[in-house]
Structure 1
C-alpha cells in the first residue's frame, strides 16, 4: 500500500517516542504542524499504518491505542544509524538546555538576499504578542523546602507551557523580577522536560492579549495548552513565590515556596509544579544562587523589556571576574550586538571560543558558534557561516538541547537557501521544525514554515508556497509578531507578483505598510516594487529615492543596488532609455549579483533593452553575450529563460527573424517548464509580435491564447491580445483589449 507523507511522518514520530505514549494533540501538532486537524483524520492515518504493519483493532503488535491519551509504538525496533539518520536523531533530543535569552540570531536573515529577507533587526521584546486569562477552578499543591516526591498522576495530555510576566508585590528596586522571574521559571520548566515557549514570545503574547477577557482559551493557532502565572511577594524579610498553572481543560494547579532568597523560592516552586505535572525536576539540588546568577536574570529582564542601557549598566557594574564566566560573557556579547556594536560582540565571542573546549560544555560552545555564524552571514560570508554551523551541529549530537539544535539547523537552512541549495535547505529546515516542536517554540515553528514557503516558491510551487506562508502568517498574527508577519507578507507579495496577481500583492503590502514604516527599508523596497507593478511609478520612485538618500552606502550596498535597479526599470517603462541605461550601469554589480542573481538578471535585461532603444545594437549584443556566459557558468532554469529571451530579442532587433523565432520558442518552452506566469507573459510579449510579423497567425494565436487568462490583470498580456485581435481583423475586440492594457498600464508607457 502506498502511504502519504503524513503517514510516514506519523510513523516516524511514534517510533522516535516509543518510550512513552504520544497524545493525539501532540501527534497532530508534530505531523501536521497545526492543531485544527480533526481526530478522524488522525484515526484514518493510524488505520492505514496498521494495515501496512499487519495490525488490527484487536491485535496491536506495533501501534497500541492508549485509552483517553493517544498511541504508543510497542514493536521492537533496531536502528541502523547513518550520518543522515544520526543528524535526524540529534534533532529530536527530548530536553532543551535553554539559555535565559534566545541565542543571537536574526529575526530574519541579514539584508543580503531578496526583498522578503531585508527587514532590519528589531529587539524581540518590542513585538506585541498575546495572552489570555482562563477562568478555572483551583487545587492546591503543598510546597515544601526539600525536593518533593511526585504524587499526582501524570496528566493525560502533553503540555506546551506559557509562563507570563510575574506579578510583583515588593519595593520598586525589585521591579526586574517581573520579567526575570518569568524567565527563570520558564527555563526551570524546560530543564524538567516541559516544552515552554521562549521568554521573548511569552512577553509578546502577554503584551497583545493583556486585555483579553478571562475564560477565553488561547488561540488554537498558538499550540499552547498550559498558562503559568507567577506571583512574588515580600513577607517579613522572606520571599514567597506562587505559581498558578491553568491548563486549557481540567483543574488548575498551584505550587508555592518560601525562602530568604527570591531565586531559591522561585526554583522550588517551579520544581513543585513540575512534580504536579508529572515531570521530574532538574537534579541540581536547591542550593542558593550565587550573585552572578542574579545578574544573569536581571540582564535577561532588562533585555526582555528593551532597556538596553540598563542591561549594559548592570554588566559594567559587575565585578570583572564575573564577566569571565562563559554564560555572562555570552550575554554581554549579545547585549553588544543588540546595541549594534558587532565588532565588540565578535571579539567577545572569539574569546569565549578559546575558553570553551568542545569536550567541557558542548551546548554552550554550540550557542556561541551559532552567534558567530550569524555575524558571518550578516557580512554575506555564507561559506564560513555554513562551516561554523556544521561544527555546532557536531557538538550537539547526543545533547539534550532541541531548542539550541533547532536554531542551528534553522540558520544553516537559511544559509543554504541563500546559496540556492534548496534540497539541503529543506532537509535542515525540516529537522529544525521537528526540534522546535519538541522545545515548544511556537514562533520558530512559524519561522520555519515561512522559510519552507520561500523554498517552495523558488521551486516553482506557488500553491504550496502560499499555503505555508499563510500558515506562518496566521501564527505570527495570533502571537502579535509584527516584524515576522511583515517578512512573511513580503515573501507572499513576491510570489503573488510572479503569479501576476498585482492587485492582491498590493493588498498584501497594505497589511504591513503605513507611513511610520517609511524608514523600514525591507518594507519600503517591497512596497516600491509592487507599486511599480501596478503602474504607480511616481510613488514607487519616491520610495526608491528615499532609500538611496537615507541609507549608508557601506552598510546597505545590496539594498541600494536593488533600489537603483528599480529606478532603472521605471525609467525604461517611462520611455526614458538614456536614464534607464545610466541607472542600470551605475548599479553596484557585485552587490546585486552576489545578493540576488534573479534581481541581477532583471537589471541586465533593463540595460540591454535600454541600449537597443537607443540604437546601440553592438553594445547590446556585447551585454547579451556577457549575460549568456554568466548564466552558463551557473545553470539555472530561471536565469536561462531570461538569457534566451534576450538573445531572441537581439536577433529580432538585428533583423534575423528565423533565429529570433527559434530562440523565442526555446524561451517559451523554458518558461513552460518553470510554470511561472510572469515568465510566460514576458516571453509572449515579444514572441507574439514576432510571429505576427512572420505571418504565422495560427501560432501567434496559440501563444496569445496561452496567456489570455492574465489579460485582465497584466498590461503586457492585454496588449498582446490587442495586437493579436488587430492582426486577425477583429477591430472591436482589439480596441477593447487596447483600452484594458491602457488602464492596467497606469503611468507606464505602452509600446
Structure 2
C-alpha cells in the first residue's frame, strides 16, 4: 500500500495520516488548519476560492470569513510563512488563496515515518491534570494534598507565557531615559522595502530601529511586537484612511508613522511620513550606503520635525557589522522565524558569540524553540558574568527570561524570587517595559501560590507601567489577569468591563488563545451575574475559538463553560450533546477530572429539572474522582446535589452519609461559597428548626459575598421550604431580594411564580408565568405552578415553624 506524500522546503505532508512534519519534528496543529493546508497543496495547480475552501474543509456554507481568516493565519504561522513575500500561501484579493511553494509529490510506503517525540508544548490545564477514576464515590479527604494550579490560576500563567518569548525585543531603552506618560503613543508601521536581494529583514528591522530611536526621546512608542500583531495581513496604510484611524484606536496610538526603504545605485533612501496625528503630512528622509544609517538619519529628522528633543544613541554594539546582524536577528524573531535567528547567531565568529547581547538572544531563541534546558543554562551563565552595576537593565532582562523558564516548568516560587531581583534592579528607574514584565511575572507567581491581594497589587502596578510606555499588548494581557482575579474574588461586576475590553483587543492582536481564556472568564462572570442571554450572545465566538485552539485541555475546559451557558439558557438538548461529547473526549484523553466535571454539570441540570434519580447517578459518577483542589466550590456543590438527590429518591440513610462526608471535608475550610453549599445541604436534610437556621446561615454568608447566582441558588431551596412551612412573610422578603433578576434569569422568574401562586394572586401569577415561560427554553415549568391559583389555595402565613 502507498500513500501520497508531499514535500516542500523542509516540510513533508502525509495527507492520509494527517501528519505535517518539519525536518524530524511532527508539528501539532488544529485539524482545520491541517485540512486547509492539505487542500491547498492538493490543488496547487490553481487558485482556490474562499467558498470552495470553506465547503471542502467545513462542509457547510455558514462559516464566517473571520473564522477562515483565523485558520489561514494559523496555517501560515505553522509554516513560518510570516514574511511580507509569502513562500507558501498567497492571498488572491477578492477571491481566495493559492499554494505557491515548489512542491514534490512522492509515493511513500504505507508505514508512517519513524516516530519522533512530540514537541513539548505548554498546555494550561483548564482545571486539573488527568486522574484515574475510582470504582466508587471517593469520600472527600481532609488531609493536606499537593496543590496543583487551579484552572483560573493556570490561565494567568498561560497569559504570561504567550507574551514573554519575544518581550525583550521592544524593551531596549537606557535606564536614564524619562518617559512622558501623558504624551500620546506613537506607532511605527513595518516599512515598505524596494530592493533586489536578501533584504526582507529590512521591513521589520528598520521599523524596530525607528521605533527604538523615537522611544529614546522619552515618548511612549508601541513595542514592535504589538505592531506586528496588529498589522499582520492588514493594510495598506494611507494617510486619512479609515484603516489607519481604526489601527490608531485599537492600538491606543494617536500618531502613526509609515516608512519606505529603497535601494538604488548602492545607496539606501529611508523615507518616513506621518499618516495620522498631524494636521499636515510630515515627510522626511535619510540617505546613506548603510540602511541602518539611513534610518537613523530619517529618525533624527522626524524628531526635529515633530519638535521632540533628540534622544541618546542606539544601545546596540558600536561595531556596525554586529549591530546590523543583531537587527536582522531581532527582525527574524519579530517575524517568528527562530530558525533564521539561530542561523544568524551561529554564523558569528567565536569572539562575537561571547558578547552578552549575543548570548542573551541565543538563550531567548532556545526558549522560543522550547529547549528549556538550553535556555536555562544560557541565562544562568550570563547572569554569572553580568554586573548589576554595569548592566542593570540587561541583567533584569536575563532574570525575567530565567523566570519564564521556571514559569513554564510550573515553579512559581523560583519565578517570584527572580522577579523580585529584577524589580529591585529597576527600582528608582523611569518606567520601562522590562519593569512591567517583571511585575507581571511576580504577580503570576503570587497568584499561583494563592496570594491574590499581593498579586492584584503587582498587576495594578504593571498596568500603570505598561500603559506609560505604550505596551498595549502587554497591558491587555495584564487586564485579562486583573479581570480573572476580580472574578476569583467574586467581583464579577468589576471584572466584566475589563474582560470585555481586553477580549476585543486580543481579537485585534490576533492572540486567539488568550482571547479564548478571556471569553471563557467573561462567560462565567455573566452567568454569575445572572445574565445568561449575554453569555449566550458570545457563544458563537467561543465555538470558533475552541474549534481552532491547538491545546486539547483548553478546548475541553472551554467546552465545559459552553455547556454551562447552554443549560443556563434552557438549551438542554444542546447541553446534553455537549456533555456527551465532552465525556467521550475526556475518556479518550484519560482526563478523569474533566469527565467528572461534565458529569457534575449534568447532575446539576437534572436536579433543577426534578430528575433526582439521574442527578444522584451523575453526581456519584462525578465524585469517583477527587478533584477538590481544582474546583472546590463546584466539588462541594456536587456533594450537596448528591445528598439532596438521595434524599428525594427515598434513600435517607445514604443522604445522611453523604452529608456527613461533606461536613467532614468542609470542616477545615473557610471559603464562604463552600460553606454555603454545606448549609444548603443541611437545610434540605434537617428538621424544620435546624433547617431554618441552616438556610439563614447560607443567606448571611451570601450577603457578605454578594454574588447574584449564589443568592438565587439559596432562594431556590429556601423559598419553597418557607412556603411549605406557611411563612409567606419571610418568603415575600426573599422573593423581593431576587425580583430584580426575574426578567432575565429563569430561576429568578420561577421564584416569583412560586410566591404569586402561594399568595393566590391570579394577576401576579399570570404575569409571573408568562415571564417564566419566556425564559424557560426547553425547561419544564413545574406542573403544580401551571394550575391557576384560587383564593382557597392561598396559604395563610402563620408563625414560623420551630420558632
TM-score higher than 0.5 here?
A: yes
1:533 matched residue in structure 2: 568
The TM-score with structure 2 as length reference comes to 0.66
Q: Secondary structure at the match of 1:225?
A: strand
For 1:202-222, what per-residue CA distance to the aligned partner results, in whole angstroms no more than 9, with x for missing partners?
123323651466314454454
Residue 746 and residue 157 in structure 1: after superposition, are their counterparts in 2 closer, same or farther (change >3 A)?
Answer: closer
Which residue among 190, 205, 214 is the counterpart of 1:189?
Answer: 214
> What is the 5 A alignment of 1:49-64?
none
Distance (Å, rounded) in 1 between the aligned partners of 2:678 and 2:715: 15
Moved more, 114-123 or 418-427: 114-123
2:740 matched residue in structure 1: 709
> What is the 5 A alignment of 1:46-195?
112-114=149-151, 118=155, 158-195=183-220
- How far the C-alpha of 1:187 sits from its partner, in A, is 2.4
Distance (Å, rounded) in 1 between the aligned partners of 2:315 and 2:486: 49
> What is the 5 A alignment of 1:17-416?
112-114=149-151, 118=155, 158-207=183-232, 209-211=234-236, 214-216=239-241, 217=245, 219-220=248-249, 222-246=251-275, 248-276=277-305, 277-283=307-313, 289=319, 291-315=321-345, 324-378=354-408, 380-400=410-430, 402-416=432-446
- How far the C-alpha of 1:184 sits from its partner, in A, is 2.5
Distance (Å, rounded) in 1 between the aligned partners of 2:765 and 2:506: 46
The answer to whether the aligner puts 1:513 opposite 2:543 as a matched pair is yes
Residue 227 and residue 109 in structure 1: after superposition, are their counterparts in 2 closer, same or farther (change >3 A)?
Answer: farther
Report the count of equivalent residues: 612
Which residue among 529, 546, 555 is the counterpart of 1:499?
Answer: 529
Residue 725 and residue 157 in structure 1: after superposition, are their counterparts in 2 closer, same or farther (change >3 A)?
Answer: closer
The answer to whether the aligner puts 1:726 opposite 2:757 as a matched pair is yes
Distance (Å, rounded) in 1 between the aligned partners of 2:358 and 2:588: 35
Partners of 1:412 and 1:425 within 8 A in 2: yes
Partners of 1:571 and 1:579 within 8 A in 2: no
Residue 443 and residue 555 in structure 1: after superposition, are their counterparts in 2 closer, same or farther (change >3 A)?
Answer: farther
- How far the C-alpha of 1:646 sits from its partner, in A, is 2.7
Distance (Å, rounded) in 2 between the aligned partners of 1:439 and 1:517: 33
Residue 528 and residue 397 in structure 1: after superposition, are their counterparts in 2 closer, same or farther (change >3 A)?
Answer: same
Partners of 1:414 and 1:425 within 8 A in 2: yes
Moved more, 321-330 or 497-506: 321-330
2:722 matched residue in structure 1: 691
Contiguous gaps of at least 5 residues in structure 1: 1-105, 127-154
For 1:236-269, what per-residue CA distance to the aligned partner results, in whole angstroms no more than 9, with x for missing partners?
3333333334551334444433344333433343
Moved more, 116-125 or 241-250: 116-125
Distance (Å, rounded) in 1 between the aligned partners of 2:327 and 2:456: 36
- How far the C-alpha of 1:687 sits from its partner, in A, is 0.5
2:173 matched residue in structure 1: none
Distance (Å, rounded) in 2 between the aligned partners of 1:613 and 1:344: 60
Distance (Å, rounded) in 1 between the aligned partners of 2:583 and 2:560: 11
- How far the C-alpha of 1:182 sits from its partner, in A, is 1.5
> What is the 5 A alignment of 1:543-692?
543=578, 546=581, 562-563=597-598, 565-567=600-602, 569-570=604-605, 575=611, 576-589=614-627, 593=629, 595-612=630-647, 617=652, 620-621=655-656, 624-625=659-660, 627-628=662-663, 631=666, 633-651=668-686, 656-692=687-723
Partners of 1:333 and 1:344 within 8 A in 2: yes
Residue 286 and residue 565 in structure 1: after superposition, are their counterparts in 2 closer, same or farther (change >3 A)?
Answer: closer
Partners of 2:636 and 2:677 within 8 A in 1: yes
For 1:162-191, what per-residue CA distance to the aligned partner results, in whole angstroms no more than 9, with x for missing partners?
111111111242112112222232223323
Q: Secondary structure at the match of 1:174?
A: coil
Partners of 1:333 and 1:348 within 8 A in 2: yes
Distance (Å, rounded) in 2 between the aligned partners of 1:366 and 1:353: 9
Residue 380 and residue 622 in structure 1: after superposition, are their counterparts in 2 closer, same or farther (change >3 A)?
Answer: farther
Distance (Å, rounded) in 2 between the aligned partners of 1:312 and 1:523: 36
For 1:30-71, what per-residue CA distance to the aligned partner results, in whole angstroms no more than 9, with x for missing partners?
xxxxxxxxxxxxxxxxxxxxxxxxxxxxxxxxxxxxxxxxxx
For 1:472-495, what per-residue CA distance to the aligned partner results, in whole angstroms no more than 9, with x for missing partners?
455556666555554443333222
- How far the C-alpha of 1:449 sits from its partner, in A, is 3.6
Distance (Å, rounded) in 1 between the aligned partners of 2:601 and 2:477: 28
Q: Secondary structure at the match of 2:623?
A: helix
Partners of 1:453 and 1:469 within 8 A in 2: yes
Residue 544 and residue 578 in structure 1: after superposition, are their counterparts in 2 closer, same or farther (change >3 A)?
Answer: same
Residue 525 and residue 617 in structure 1: after superposition, are their counterparts in 2 closer, same or farther (change >3 A)?
Answer: same
Distance (Å, rounded) in 2 between the aligned partners of 1:577 and 1:157: 58
2:87 matched residue in structure 1: none
- How far the C-alpha of 1:542 sits from its partner, in A, is 4.5
Partners of 1:493 and 1:508 within 8 A in 2: yes
Partners of 2:124 and 2:155 within 8 A in 1: yes
Distance (Å, rounded) in 1 between the aligned partners of 2:404 and 2:564: 28
Output the aligned Cα RMSD: 4.1
Partners of 2:742 and 2:752 within 8 A in 1: yes
For 1:606-654, what per-residue CA distance to the aligned partner results, in whole angstroms no more than 9, with x for missing partners?
4444554565555554554554565554523333333322332232xxx
1:97 matched residue in structure 2: none
Residue 378 and residue 548 in structure 1: after superposition, are their counterparts in 2 closer, same or farther (change >3 A)?
Answer: farther
Moved more, 550-559 or 738-747: 550-559
The TM-score with structure 1 as length reference comes to 0.70
Q: Secondary structure at the match of 1:513?
A: helix
Distance (Å, rounded) in 2 between the aligned partners of 1:711 and 1:747: 18
Partners of 1:535 and 1:745 within 8 A in 2: yes
Moved more, 182-191 or 334-343: 334-343
- How far the C-alpha of 1:118 sits from its partner, in A, is 4.4
For 1:309-330, what per-residue CA distance to the aligned partner results, in whole angstroms no more than 9, with x for missing partners?
4445545555566555444444
- How far the C-alpha of 1:535 sits from its partner, in A, is 2.8
